[in-house]
Amino acid sequence: MKAVLALEDGRTFACQSFTGPGEAFGEIVFNTSMAGYQEILTDPSYCGQMVTMTYPLIGNYGVNPEDMESDRIQAEAILEEYQSEPSNHSAAETLAEFLLRHGVMGFEGLDTRALTIHIRKAGAMRAFISTIDLDPQSCVARAQAVPAMQGLDLTGAASTKKPYRWLNGQKAPMAAADDCLGERIWRFKGSRPSLAAFDFGIKHNILRCLEAAGFEVIVIPASTDADAVRAMAPDGIFLSNGPGDPELAVFAARTIGALLDFRPMFGICLGLQLMALALGGRTYKLKFGHRGGNQPVKNLVTGKVEITSQNHGFAVDAESLNQREIQITHLNLNDLTVEGFRHRRLPLLAVQYHPEASPGPRDAGYLFAEFRQMVANFQAKEIKHEMPGV
């Protein structure tokens, strides 16, 4: 089915839909990963975006329930050359069937290399794609009417509405006995270190990694305030990835600021940006963002280079950080943007990339163990302070 992709700067591409009639819009971005289209589609950080994959094939290994990074497809559309017959023993359905079931469009038959080069030169931009309106000028006008990503707070849309436990690799609803919504207190049960995980658009594999690191995890809505977190009395706090402009998530940054000296805290991607804002820093929009499973990052503490998985369109302004209080620990080797920092005095750790590596390399998996040790060290200090005579 014929379609037209139009960008806000007037560039148009003829293409076709492999999921039937429809329209889609959002910020158009590209991802350089060679595999992992299902994880990319279901990553909440792609909320409000259309994704073009630079690898020339998509759909060739199908879709299966185990590779979901959230409960649904989050991206607005995906573009690449579609393979309708998957070759994979674990495939439960084709990509087209998966997209249709979630009401999301898929497009092919366009020069994705030319589109990617254009985005690299001109920057990520608003786009509109349609099988119904095939007039290029009309589609460009509709692309120009799409809300810009800079200026959008999407954390509320991507977040869970109710708290839940993450147990044995999956969601576990809160029981009435430990879900005191009237008091906004959600209680931990086990003997493992407890973790309150803010959901700004959290990926399932992050939760798997946190559980594997030894934490008892309760996932809480982005709208949870600092008093509710203090009442939970967790051993640590996690700040998740997510979509949108970090500087518009004012409530989240204010809540994080109120908790900076409460418990050890670990942030990933948007979590890093929100922590930086809470510490007085600033963020800015990257020209075309970092999205892919092959991004080189230098660990300034060890001197090692890590190959990382990334998905972000905003970055922290290094000059805005108080260098006396904050140590920048990781830098992107492509453009020298901030990829990680620690606080010199408080137990705060954050990285811009995705150490859970789904999809992507596993060079940065050590960070979950480092955070677990940070929590253990904090607990030891707390016990020492509570001992009589100490």
Q: Is 152 exposed, middle or buried (0-12, 13-18, 19+ CB in 10 A)?
A: middle
Assess whether 354 carries a catalytic annotation.
yes
Tell me the C-alpha distance between 383 and 69, whole Å. Answer: 37
On whether the CB atoms of residues 77 and 106 are closer than 8 A, the answer is yes
Tell me the C-alpha distance between 17 and 320, whole Å. Answer: 45
Out of 15, 269, 306, 312, the active site residue is 269
Assess whether 356 carries a catalytic annotation.
yes
At 294, list the tokens: 């092959």
At 178, list the tokens: 């430990």
Residue 340 neighbours by CB distance under 10 Å: 29
Tell me the C-alpha distance between 219 and 196, whole Å. Answer: 6
Residue for token pair 């998966």? 98
User: CA nearest 241: which of 356, 98, 94?
Assistant: 356
On whether the CB atoms of residues 226 and 187 are closer than 8 A, the answer is no
- List residues with catalytic annotation: 269, 354, 356
